Amino acid sequence: MDKFTTLTGVAAPMPIINIDTDMIIPKQYLKTIKRTGLGSALFSEMRYNEDGTEKPDFVLNKPGYRDARIIIAGDNFGCGSSREHAPWALLDFGVRCVISTSFADIFYNNCFKNGILPIVVTPEQLELLLDDANRGSNATLTVDLEAQTISGPDGGTIHFDIDPGRKQVLLEGLDDIAMTLKKDATISGFEGQMADNRPWV
């Protein structure tokens, strides 16, 4: 995975409660097992009309937000089914960070496995960030994972909490396989000891 250290980008406001994974990536796109190519289908039922034309009122179709790298969302983001295609679609679109007051557990875990930083903030902090995000192309936030801060366009800073282990995974860009390989020497030592102690196994 790409490392996540500091991200500066436009933040798109999506103050909708219970955005589920079927809204993020509808079921008809789940046939693929590739992690790429899903960005065009992100929020497709919200982004497009039945004839494939864009809905001009949807936030990611507005000129100021087409290149959004951060989403500021309502409570319980990523609820619904456990499809990993949801973070794949976000990442393929270019979103590396989602900020909300709460996330569904499986979606939250899947974000870390795919290089996306989900940040939990208070309702009061979310309102401040939504106010920043409503500035269109001027809605630039800076997320510093090492310092655990979100900085707004006016210089205001919000601190966020994150599990140290999850933080390190993103800082180093480690997926599950890479995490296992970091312990290769320990695993090899254990297997060697097992072979000596239990040669019949």
Beta-sheet pairing, 149-151 with 157-159: antiparallel
CA distances from 64 to 9, 77, 166 (A): 11, 23, 31
Average pLDDT, the chain: 92
Terminal C-alpha separation, the chain: 36
Kindly report, residue by residue over 4-34, the tens digit of the pLDDT: 999 999 999 999 999 999 999 999 999 888 8
**SS3 at position 74:** coil
Section 113-136 average pLDDT: 95
Section 71-77 average pLDDT: 98
